[in-house]
Amino acid sequence: MPTTTGLRARVRAELIVEIKEEARRQLSVEGAPGLSLRAITRALGMASSGIYRYFKSRDELLTALIVDGYDSIGQAAEVADGGCPRNDFGARWQAASYSIRDWAGAHPHEYALVYGSPVPGYRAPRDTIGPASRVTSVLAAIVHDASLAGALSARQGQSPLPPLSREVAIEARRLVELAFPDVAEDTALRAVAAWTQLFGIISFELFGHFHGVIGDPGSVFDRTVLEMGAFVGLPVPYTQVTPGTTATDEHDEGEDWYLI
Amino acid sequence: MPTTTGLRARVRAELIVEIKEEARRQLSVEGAPGLSLRAITRALGMASSGIYRYFKSRDELLTALIVDGYDSIGQAAEVADGGCPRNDFGARWQAASYSIRDWAGAHPHEYALVYGSPVPGYRAPRDTIGPASRVTSVLAAIVHDASLAGALSARQGQSPLPPLSREVAIEARRLVELAFPDVAEDTALRAVAAWTQLFGIISFELFGHFHGVIGDPGSVFDRTVLEMGAFVGLPVPYTQVTPGTTATDEHDEGEDWYLI
DNA sequence: TGTACATCAGTGAACGCGCGTTCACTGATGTAC
DNA sequence: TGTACATCAGTGAACGCGCGTTCACTGATGTAC
């Protein structure tokens, strides 16, 4: 009856999960530098050497946690985005942004592990770059889809900005090809600005730089999401595009988010 | 001839400086979590217990480094801003932004110490909040001055954004009173967005999130500074306001920065 | 100007701790015939 | 279905290391009269 090769493998997989759960628990107390293999094995009631059957080194465990973190926040964004009508680009932008902030608030130490200071002495292996790009892809896809649908508002004509410099034009072309063909170059650059703003404001809130400056970070966040969405050219707040599909849909994490 | 009370005090002050210098050197190798009092004393050729004559604990040394970091980046921004004609608000915005990025690039581990993940177990004392606000004050003052001079471009009329929510309006009023009276509330909120974008993009570049996405972060940074300046309503690139004082002035750190 | 005393810098030994990783091992679980 | 062997999980002791902090101390530098 034992599923032959499966049993041992399944028990093994479960212990790997338990180790990572315990590691995340410790992460939320001590932060990444305080993560201790011995403390993990102690909590799980096993010998300190036992963990080496599952992770070859502390760095390998760290890598697993980082990959999980990227995957987790990426999935949150994908789910939030996926819960919106495809052609309501403003709603998708808001939902994705909120889901990222929510995830960060719910997993502050994982967020710090992934978007905070690099862990000294740790060199991220290739395995992390795929998961790392999931969130970015969600945001880029929203802008891209809006562009394809012709829903991006044209650049305000009275822009005081000079044309792109040679260097940044090259960079913008690469960026457009990489992430969103069919998007204008200066829109792509504004999307980069919005992307970095999103993580900038979340980091500032989480890392304590709003103390004494901003009392209610949530409301300010909500507003900057709107502002930056409009800055990129997205129609925010979302407009009724296909009547009938706008209101509901299962985006579980948006409590009173939409009541701006 | 010895300056009575002064001699011992001066030697003491010098050793404090040396300790902090050595600490910063180690910071740039191991990062904040790896900072070791014993390693510092070893490098300075003194007994490990000797350092306690100068810092009561590791935390106190960390605090000193953080305060120094804030002061250093704050001063860089002040100098850069101060090197521009007072009423060339676009130039001031650019100069301040560039100086912050320059400082971060020159002191990446101090930047991470101050703007990266909080050091676990470390609780910032009151001494840090004054120095921490210097950079912010420079940026806010530019927007404030521009507003007083009537140089902020009016909000683009066709804005698709709804009026401020009740919560964010309260927050915006507090913000305006705190940092820039005489600035419109939605401008203040956009200034917050620009402020967080500035540090967001610097952190992303420094912490490696541009790998594989952006090859030339400098040019993209330059452009987003322009974009976000315009977003706030500042006249960028800077216009000749008082003919004769535009070109020169001593902003030492702006190599080819202005050649956008 | 010289003596008596207080202050302070710096030492060296010790306390008590935790860490990552290796290694030879014991049993239990699976596999092949 | 039963036996022989290989694989793997988990143990416990040990290596070698570094850390922050305390404490009683020795001298040198300053201060007061």
**CA B16 – CA B24 distance, rounded (Å):** 12
| A 80-109 residues, CB < 7 A, strand C | none
**CA B122 – CA B60 distance, rounded (Å):** 10
Does A122 contact strand C, using a CB cutoff of 7 Å?
no
Residue B43 at interface with chain A, using a CB cutoff of 8 Å? no
CB B77, CB B99: distance < 8 Å: yes
Residue B38 burial (C-beta neighbours within 10 Å; 0-12, 13-18, 19+): exposed
> A201 and B196: CB-CB below 8 Å?
yes
Q: How confident is the model at residue B5 (pLDDT cuts 50, 70, 90)?
A: low
Partners of B212 on chain A (C-beta within 8 Å) are 129, 133
Residue B138 burial (C-beta neighbours within 10 Å; 0-12, 13-18, 19+): buried
Residue B156 at interface with chain A, using a CB cutoff of 8 Å? yes
CB A152, CB A190: distance < 8 Å: no
The nt closest to B41 (CA vs C1′) is: C10
At residue A243, the pLDDT reads: 36
**CA B182 – CA B166 distance, rounded (Å):** 20
Residues B161-171: what's their mean pLDDT?
94
- Secondary structure class of B73 (helix, strand, coil): helix
Question: CA A149 – C1' C22 distance (Å)?
Answer: 61
For chain A, give the percent of residues with pLDDT over 90.
78
CB A257, CB A222: distance < 8 Å: yes
Cross-chain CB nearest to A120 (options B34, B124, B165): B34
**CA B238 – CA B55 distance, rounded (Å):** 46
Other residues' Cβ atoms within 10 Å of the Cβ of residue A154: 8
The nt closest to B34 (CA vs C1′) is: D19
Residue A27 at interface with chain B, using a CB cutoff of 8 Å? no
Q: DSSP secondary structure string, A194-229?
A: HHHHHHHHHHHHHTTTTTTT-S-HHHHHHHHHHHHH
- Maximum separation of any 2 CA atoms in chain B, in Å: 74
At residue A160, the pLDDT reads: 67
Q: Which two tokens stand for residue B182?
A: 């005489």
Q: For residue B10, what are the contacts with CB-CB under 8 A and spacing of at least 6? A: B3
A46: phi then psi, degrees, rounded to nearest 5: -120, 170
Q: Which two tokens stand for residue B64?
A: 């000193």
**CA A122 – CA B205 distance, rounded (Å):** 17
Lowest mean pLDDT, pick from A136-145, B109-118, B230-239: B230-239
Other residues' Cβ atoms within 10 Å of the Cβ of residue B13: 12
Q: Which two tokens stand for residue A250?
A: 């299962």
Asked if residue B242 has pLDDT above 60, the reply is: no
Q: For residue A230, what are the contacts with CB-CB under 8 A and spacing of at least 6? A: A153, A236, B159, B160, B161
Helix (H) or strand (E) holding A17: helix A5-30
**CA A63 – CA A131 distance, rounded (Å):** 11
**CA B121 – CA A29 distance, rounded (Å):** 8
Total count of residues recorded for chain B: 260
Q: How confident is the model at residue B245 (pLDDT cuts 50, 70, 90)?
A: very low
Q: How confident is the model at residue A75 (pLDDT cuts 50, 70, 90)?
A: very high
At residue B70, the pLDDT reads: 98
HSE-CB at B26 with a 13 A cutoff on CA atoms is: 22
**CA B27 – CA B23 distance, rounded (Å):** 6
Residue B182 at interface with chain A, using a CB cutoff of 8 Å? no
pTM: 0.90
Q: Side chain identity at B134, as an amino acid letter? A: R
At residue A65, the pLDDT reads: 97
**CA A164 – CA A182 distance, rounded (Å):** 18
Q: Which of residues 190-229 of B touch A (CB under 8 A)?
A: 190, 192-193, 196-201, 203-204, 207-209, 211-216, 218-220, 222-224, 226-228
Nearest to A143 by CA among A117, A180, A176: A180
Residues B63-88: what's their mean pLDDT?
98
Residue pLDDT, tens place only, B188-239? 999 999 999 999 999 999 999 999 999 999 999 999 999 999 999 999 885 4
- Strand C: which positions are within 7 A of a protein CB? 8-14, 18-24, 29-31
Question: CA B7 – C1' D30 distance (Å)?
Answer: 9
Q: Which two tokens stand for residue B30?
A: 């191991």
**CA B186 – CA B74 distance, rounded (Å):** 26
At residue A123, the pLDDT reads: 84
Nearest to B132 by CA among B81, B195, B174, B82: B195
Does B49 contact strand D, using a CB cutoff of 7 Å?
yes
Does B22 contact strand D, using a CB cutoff of 7 Å?
no
At residue B233, the pLDDT reads: 95
Q: How confident is the model at residue B123 (pLDDT cuts 50, 70, 90)?
A: confident
Residue pLDDT, tens place only, A178-228? 999 999 999 999 999 999 999 999 999 999 999 999 999 999 999 999 999
Residue B235 at interface with chain A, using a CB cutoff of 8 Å? yes
**CA A37 – CA A161 distance, rounded (Å):** 53
Question: CA B38 – C1' D28 distance (Å)?
Answer: 24
Residues B172-192: what's their mean pLDDT?
96
Q: Side chain identity at B236, as an amino acid letter? A: V
Q: For residue A153, what are the contacts with CB-CB under 8 A and spacing of at least 6? A: A230, A233, A234, A235, B160
Task: Name which residue leads in pLDDT, A3 or B40.
Answer: B40
Total count of residues recorded for chain A: 260
Residue-averaged pLDDT of chain A:
88
Does A36 contact strand C, using a CB cutoff of 7 Å?
yes
